[in-house]
Amino acid sequence: MHYSARRSVGARFSDVFVKSKREKGARPMKNPGVRCAVAALLLSGAVPAHAQSSYWYTGLGVGYSRIQFYPADFQTLPTDSKKEFDAGFKGFLGYQISRNWAAEVSYATVGKFKYKVENSATGISENRDYKVTGVGFALIPTVPFTRKFSVFGRFGAFFSETTINIRNPGAVASGTVLALQDSEPTFLTGFGMQYFFAGESGIRIEFENLGTVGNGCTTGQFLGVDCTGRANVKMGSVSAVFKF
Rg for the chain, CA atoms, rounded = 34
Band of the pLDDT at 95, cuts 50, 70, 90?
Answer: very high
User: For residue 168, what pLDDT is reported?
Assistant: 78
Same domain, 231 and 117: yes
8 pLDDT more than 70 = no
Same domain, 106 and 206: yes
Domain membership of residue 138 (yes or no) is: yes
User: For residue 37, what pLDDT is reported?
Assistant: 40
| Residue range(s) defining the domain that contains residue 90 | 53-243
Domain membership of residue 48 (yes or no) is: no
Burial 203-219 (b: 16+ CB within 10 A, else e): ebebebbbbbbbbebee
Q: In whole angstroms, what separates CA 142 from the centre of its chain?
A: 10
Arithmetic mean of pLDDT over the chain: 80
Same domain, 218 and 140: yes
The tally of domains found in the chain comes to 2
85 pLDDT more than 90 = yes
Domain membership of residue 231 (yes or no) is: yes
Same domain, 13 and 84: no
Domain membership of residue 115 (yes or no) is: yes
Cross-strand partners of 63 = 88, 237
pTM for the predicted model, two decimal places: 0.72
**More confident call, 49 vs 151:** 151
CATH at residue 206: 2.40.160.20
